[in-house]
Chain A
Amino acid sequence: MDGIKKRLADSVQLRLSVGLCAAIAVVAVLTGTIAFFSALDEAHELQDSSLSQIAVLVENGTLQAKNSNFISTPIHDEKGSQVIVHFMFSPSRYPPEGRDNDFALPYGLENGFHALRVGEHVYRVLINTLGPDTQVGVAQRVSVRDEVAMASAWRTLMPFLLVMPVLLLVVADLVKKIFRPIRTLSAEVNRRDERNIQPLALDGLPREIKPFIIAINQLLSRVALSVEQQRRFVADAAHELRSPLTALTLQAERLAAAELPGAARERVDKLQQGMQRTKYLLEQLLTLARAQLNNAPTLNTPPVNVNKIMRQAMEDLMPLAERKSIDLGVADADSVVAQYDEVDLFTLIKNLVDNAIRYTPVNGRIDLRLKNQGHGFLIEVEDNGPGIPAAQRDRVMDAFYRVEGHEAAGTGLGLSIVQAILVRLQGDIRLADAERYATGLNVKIRLP
């Protein structure tokens, strides 16, 4: 019961359906009952009035008084359904004599309608005094009357009984149809990911819901604005940090160039390494903020040679790969020309490969592949490093997330940058185990 109550409280649609159906049922029962009983009543009255009319016919002599019953033809083809006209005489004037009919009433009843038992049946009897010592009784079996009256009452009720289930179905269907736009809308909102804060469409929505959706849209736009401001803040902050960091690195470099005792030199080296990391983190932060910032894909960009961009990214990363003696190469490349922003593609490929280099151990191997595919193309980066456990693959796109068991060589931003660019370019990424090595990560990027 509680479950139903809770569902009723939760769902306007259910409440509306149940409420409407209940109202219809109550009204139907009420009107049905009233109609039934008034029809029953009317039928009885009709029957009474036909008894009265027969009595009048007897009174004005159309039917002769005689000492026997006049029996009408049966109303139905049923025994006992006839109207019986019975004459009664005062015993003082007409002493009782042998009467052969089985329907007999005593003399001396009051005028008017009576319910009398004669033999095994109960009769509705209209008594009328015709003259001194003579009465006439017009009788009809109650069971027959009731049967006829009931039949007529049921006939009145029938349309209600037939229409009510149809009405219930129609109401249920109507309510469902009315709520369809809301269901469609909620399904759409459900399908969205957290980065999509576009306003909801208002077309086809009922006027009652529109203000609500408009309010939600206003909220969404305020959220979008604040997200934008935060991203701008990250970009601005990273940008502002550049000058002091430049000053620091320059001073450290001059310090390193000066004559230093061994211990001091070691510390300056450490200092410079730390600054190098800070610089890299700053650059990655800026790149991420920029990748997230303008979400509109640039239109009308000229087609670019993806192979060339891939080569430029590799040129940028070769020193890093060489330092770790990693064999970075292209295993297979179609020549691909695509209509994308050059900087986006470069940043995308560079961060993918950069990530692979950072997480592949010394003397490892990284293969790049570039393939044309019906609509769009595929960039594949595969390494023979330790790979990423399947359970952690969903999380590696999160900013600053690092795979467990790695003392972070990177900033934890590379794949977030890749993801942000993919959102803009409407591409998708798939992380899997290496296909050609025993261990390692295989990253496939599909761009439309």
Chain B
Amino acid sequence: MRVLLVEDDAMIGDAVQGALKDESYAVDWIGNGIEALNTLATQRYDVILLDLGLPGKDGLSVLSSLRQQGNDTPLLIITARDALADRLQGLDNGADDYVLKPFAISELLARMRAVLRRKGGTSGPVMSNGCVTLDPATHEASRGEGREKYRLSNREFALLAALLIRPGTILSRGELEEKIYGWGEEVESNAVEFFIHALRKKLGSDAIKNVRGVGWMVSRNV
């Protein structure tokens, strides 16, 4: 995987480059907006990490020139500007996601993987929140790597997949019912509780958390 890092802060650039190399990415590091555009005119990268406050050419202008040239390389914005307007402008200009400074390498890596998955058109081989793992291909779920695998029914799978798409998101009963029943299907009362009970029996009672008065979630960052 080739990564282009556009970052003018030497310490951050150095740390990110080092961390990505540790993860076996091939990283080119550029500290200037104009140079970044020049490099991108000739080289192809799998993912671009772009700082917004750049000398030479501002990050947002680099981004819009890039997209105007038809370059649709997955791109993450790294920014210290956290005002909503700035973030929206970045996404509107064609960024795939943004990471807010100060960030952790693990967060950056996770977001890079997510962006690559989305661009690749597949939802990735395995869904996981670090505790529960679900394989969409086989409908098999397990409590972590190497543990016993359980085959899930279609509805159990649909429910767990809905929760694992974005770990930490709380889904209400209504939202979960929509996920596990198709249009026109009659919703059985207590169906959500029934399937969650079944999943907990297999994966452990804390695999799916109930948030009192709101709904259910799988934990994030376990």
Complex interface: chain B residues within 8 A of A315 (CB): 168-170, 217
Residue in B closest to A257 when the chains form the complex, CB atoms = B22
Interface flag for B219 (CB, 8 Å): yes
Contact B80 A239, beta carbon cutoff 8 Å: yes
Contact A343 B84, beta carbon cutoff 8 Å: yes
Distance (Å) between the CB of B112 and the closest chain A CB? 14
Distance (Å) between the CB of B168 and the closest chain A CB? 5
Distance (Å) between the CB of B212 and the closest chain A CB? 2
Contact A254 B22, beta carbon cutoff 8 Å: yes
Complex interface: chain B residues within 8 A of A368 (CB): 213
Contact B103 A246, beta carbon cutoff 8 Å: yes
User: How far, in whole Å, are A137 and B220 apart by their CA atoms in the complex?
Assistant: 132
Contact A243 B214, beta carbon cutoff 8 Å: no
User: How far, in whole Å, are A319 and B170 apart by their CA atoms in the complex?
Assistant: 12
Complex interface: chain A residues within 8 A of B12 (CB): 243, 246-247, 250
Give the contacting residue for A311; candidates B9, B170, B219; CB below 8 A: B170
Contact B9 A243, beta carbon cutoff 8 Å: yes
Contact A319 B18, beta carbon cutoff 8 Å: no
Complex interface: chain B residues within 8 A of A290 (CB): 83
**Assuming the A-B contacts A314-B170, A315-B170, A330-B214, are A279 and B219 also in contact, with contact meaning beta carbons closer than 8 angstroms in the complex?**
no
Give the contacting residue for B15; candidates A254, A314, A318, A343; CB below 8 A: A254
Contact A250 B105, beta carbon cutoff 8 Å: yes
Complex interface: chain B residues within 8 A of A41 (CB): none
Interface flag for A217 (CB, 8 Å): no
Q: Which of A242, A246, A279, A333 gathers the greatest number of chain B CB atoms within 10 Å?
A: A246
User: How far, in whole Å, are A244 and B12 apart by their CA atoms in the complex?
Assistant: 8
Contact A331 B80, beta carbon cutoff 8 Å: no
User: How far, in whole Å, are A331 and B211 apart by their CA atoms in the complex?
Assistant: 10
Complex interface: chain B residues within 8 A of A330 (CB): 211-214
Interface flag for A42 (CB, 8 Å): no
Residue in A closest to B169 when the chains form the complex, CB atoms = A315
Interface flag for B110 (CB, 8 Å): no
Interface flag for B11 (CB, 8 Å): yes
Interface flag for B37 (CB, 8 Å): no
Distance (Å) between the CB of B89 and the closest chain A CB? 15
**Assuming the A-B contacts A242-B102, A253-B19, are A314 and B11 also in contact, with contact meaning beta carbons closer than 8 angstroms in the complex?**
no
Stretch at the interface among A91-99, A105-113, A321-329, A388-396: A321-329
Complex interface: chain A residues within 8 A of B168 (CB): 315, 318-319
Contact A251 B102, beta carbon cutoff 8 Å: no
Give the contacting residue for B214; candidates A247, A253, A311, A327; CB below 8 A: A311
Q: Using a CB-CB cutoff of 8 Å, which residues 349-370 of chain A contact chain B?
A: 368
Q: Using a CB-CB cutoff of 8 Å, which residues 169-221 of chain B contact chain A?
A: 169-170, 209, 211-215, 217, 219-221
Contact B80 A329, beta carbon cutoff 8 Å: no
Contact A242 B101, beta carbon cutoff 8 Å: yes
Give the contacting residue for B101; candidates A246, A311, A327; CB below 8 A: A246
Give the interface SS of chain A, mostly helix, strand, loop or mixed: helix
Interface flag for A55 (CB, 8 Å): no
Give the contacting residue for A318; candidates B84, B104, B219; CB below 8 A: B219
Give the contacting residue for A254; candidates B18, B170, B211, B212; CB below 8 A: B18
User: How far, in whole Å, are A330 and B103 apart by their CA atoms in the complex?
Assistant: 30
Bitwise interface map of B from 149 to 173 toward A, beta carbon under 8 Å scored 1, else 0: 0000000000000000000111000
Q: Using a CB-CB cutoff of 8 Å, which residues 291-338 of chain A contact chain B?
A: 311, 314-315, 318-319, 322, 327-333
Interface flag for B43 (CB, 8 Å): no
**Assuming the A-B contacts A242-B80, A243-B101, are A318 and B11 also in contact, with contact meaning beta carbons closer than 8 angstroms in the complex?**
no
Complex interface: chain B residues within 8 A of A332 (CB): 213
**Assuming the A-B contacts A243-B80, A329-B212, are A250 and B217 also in contact, with contact meaning beta carbons closer than 8 angstroms in the complex?**
no
Contact B209 A322, beta carbon cutoff 8 Å: yes
Distance (Å) between the CB of A186 and the closest chain B CB? 40
Interface flag for A245 (CB, 8 Å): yes
Distance (Å) between the CB of B22 and the closest chain A CB? 6
Contact A318 B211, beta carbon cutoff 8 Å: yes
Complex interface: chain B residues within 8 A of A246 (CB): 9, 12, 80, 101-103
Interface flag for A339 (CB, 8 Å): no
Contact A314 B211, beta carbon cutoff 8 Å: yes
Interface flag for B106 (CB, 8 Å): yes
Complex interface: chain B residues within 8 A of A328 (CB): 211-212
Complex interface: chain B residues within 8 A of A279 (CB): 102
User: How far, in whole Å, are A421 and B108 apart by their CA atoms in the complex?
Assistant: 31
Distance (Å) between the CB of A443 and the closest chain B CB? 17
Q: Which of B22, B82, B211 gathers the greatest number of chain A CB atoms within 10 Å?
A: B211
User: How far, in whole Å, are A248 and B215 apart by their CA atoms in the complex?
Assistant: 38
Contact B211 A319, beta carbon cutoff 8 Å: no
Interface flag for A420 (CB, 8 Å): no
Interface flag for B16 (CB, 8 Å): yes
Contact A251 B220, beta carbon cutoff 8 Å: no
Complex interface: chain B residues within 8 A of A318 (CB): 168, 170, 209, 211, 217, 219-220
User: How far, in whole Å, are A246 and B100 apart by their CA atoms in the complex?
Assistant: 10
Complex interface: chain A residues within 8 A of B19 (CB): 250, 253-254, 257
Interface flag for A85 (CB, 8 Å): no
User: How far, in whole Å, are A330 and B173 apart by their CA atoms in the complex?
Assistant: 14
Residue in B closest to A287 when the chains form the complex, CB atoms = B82
Complex interface: chain A residues within 8 A of B214 (CB): 311, 314, 329-330
**Minimum-distance CB pairs A-B, first 9:** A329-B212, A330-B213, A247-B11, A250-B15, A246-B102, A242-B80, A246-B101, A247-B12, A242-B101
* 17 intermolecular pairs with C-beta atoms under 8 Å apart: A243-B11, A243-B101, A244-B11, A246-B12, A246-B101, A253-B15, A253-B104, A253-B106, A254-B19, A290-B83, A311-B170, A314-B170, A329-B211, A330-B212, A330-B213, A330-B214, A343-B84
Given contacts A322-B209, A331-B212, 20 further A-B contacts (CB under 8 A): A245-B102, A246-B80, A247-B9, A247-B12, A249-B103, A250-B12, A250-B104, A253-B105, A254-B15, A254-B18, A254-B22, A257-B19, A282-B102, A311-B170, A311-B214, A318-B220, A329-B213, A330-B211, A330-B214, A331-B213
